[in-house]
Amino acid sequence: MGKKWYASKTVWLNLIMLGGVFLHDQFGLDITEEEQGAVIAIVNLILRAITKEPLQP
């Protein structure tokens, strides 16, 4: 048995990062699309390594 989607650290962090992608221009952050993609990939790999249970279908 898995957990509900809203109990997933990966889902929440990805939603936060998605919001950050849309807001980065408003705060003057000079981060390229490549850098954004790299940060998202690294964080997702870390979260995947510590994930213990799947999401429920």
Walk along the chain (57 residues) and give the pLDDT tens digit of each residue. Answer: 788 989 888 889 889 888 887 787 788 777 888 988 898 899 989 998 998 888 888
pLDDT at 46: 93
pLDDT at 56: 85
In the chain, what are the domain boundaries?
A: 5-50
Distance CA 10, CA 7 (A): 9
CA dihedral 43, 44, 48, 52 (to 10 degrees): 80
pTM: 0.67
pLDDT at 45: 92
